[in-house]
Amino acid sequence: MPDPRTLISTAATATTGQRLAIDDHNRAYAGMTYVYPVVSRRAGGVSIGINLNPNNACNWRCVYCQVPNLQRGGPPPINLPQLERELSQMLDDITQGAFMSRFVAPEQRILQDIAFSGNGEPTSSPEFAQAVRIAAEQIRRRDLFPQVKLRLITNGSLVDRLRVQEGLHFLHEAQGEVWFKCDAGDTRDAYRINGSRQKPDVLLRRLCLCAQTCATWIQSCFFLYDGHPPSHKHIDHWLNLIDRALDANAPLQGVYLYGLARPSFQPESARLGRLSSPWLEALAQRVRQRGLTVIVSP
């Protein structure tokens, strides 16, 4: 998944920007396949991203996706020992090495999370559950709980698979959380935005299952399309989905509403634009009226 943590960044320098330009800033990370550092001024610290889709393949095709050369499909087999080595090296460099002093402004020298959020859908990897277990163990071994959170950023389309459920259980045991994508509550909008034919009833069932398994936030991206904001119908369907999740007693943590902070890498890019902060805030208010916590990142 393109990383919503990077979407909420606003600058592109090493200390305030998004995923570090590893070729330019640190060749040690350029050799890594699965692990990358993210420095985010808006998020106020450092994140470690785990990319289980190094081939830029996803089972969806969102119009705003920031993965270059995105293709449909799943990832190649993950080399778990290599993933473990890379994560261990990155954690050592961030917690004991020179990473913070070289790349991060003093007030942001805090490691915030390790997030499964790469160039595709992380749960499509058959090794997803083992990868979660490895990451949880690395955090535990360094005694970084609870200040370093383990996160999964997902489109949620595979959470009802047994091996994904197993990974969610590991995530729950590690007091981790899920950011579950929900951009539309209607089949046509979902296809237009996410290239997904997932029906709202199926999305709802998966969302409820996920929230019952592990702490879950809804993450939703809104933007201008051909100069127009999302239609009233689009928003009504989306809110209706949230209402149905609440009616079903899904224990949601809240909703992240975010806009397009950076350009899409998809063919629709030129048709997309940023919504204003007041527009997103007005929508957030409608969600808060339902008793949910909402975080807005225009």
SS3 116: strand
* Interacting residues of 157 by C-beta distance below 8 A, sequence separation 6+: 59, 60, 121, 196, 198, 206
Asked if 58 is part of the footprint of ligand SF4 (rule: CB under 6 A), the reply reads yes
Residue among 104 and 164 whose Cβ is closer to ligand SF4: 164
Q: Residue 61, interface with ligand SF4 (CB under 6 A)?
A: yes
* 60 contacts ligand SF4 (rule: CB under 6 A): yes
Interface residue with ligand SF4 among 45, 75, 120, 122 (CB under 6 A) is 120
Regarding 121 and contact with ligand SF4 (CB under 6 A), the answer is yes
Q: CB-wise, 194 or 297, nearer to ligand SF4?
A: 194
Selected binder of ligand SF4 within 38, 46, 65, 209 (CB under 6 A): 65
Binding flag, residue 200, ligand SF4 (CB under 6 A): no
- In whole angstroms, the minimum distance from the beta carbon of 60 to ligand SF4 comes to 4
The separation between CA 200 and the C-alpha centre of its own chain, rounded to angstroms, equals 20
Angle between helices 187-194 and 200-213 (to 10 degrees): 70
Q: DSSP state, 215?
A: E
Distance separating alpha carbons of residues 89 and 65, to the nearest angstrom: 29
Using CB under 6 A as the binding rule, the residues of this chain from 145 to 164 that contact ligand SF4 are 155
192-206 as b/e: b if 16+ CB within 10 A: bbbbbebebeebbeb
Residues 242-281 binding ligand SF4 (CB under 6 A) are none
Nearer to ligand SF4, 52 or 58 (CB): 58
Q: Is 62 in the site for ligand SF4 (CB under 6 A)?
A: yes
User: Taking a C-beta distance cutoff of 8 angstroms, is the pair 113, 36 a contact?
Assistant: no
Q: Are 231 and 271 in contact (CB under 8 A)?
A: no
**Is the CB of 111 or the CB of 203 nearer to ligand SF4?**
203
Footprint of ligand SF4 (CB under 6 A): 1-2, 58, 60-62, 65, 67, 70, 120-121, 155, 194
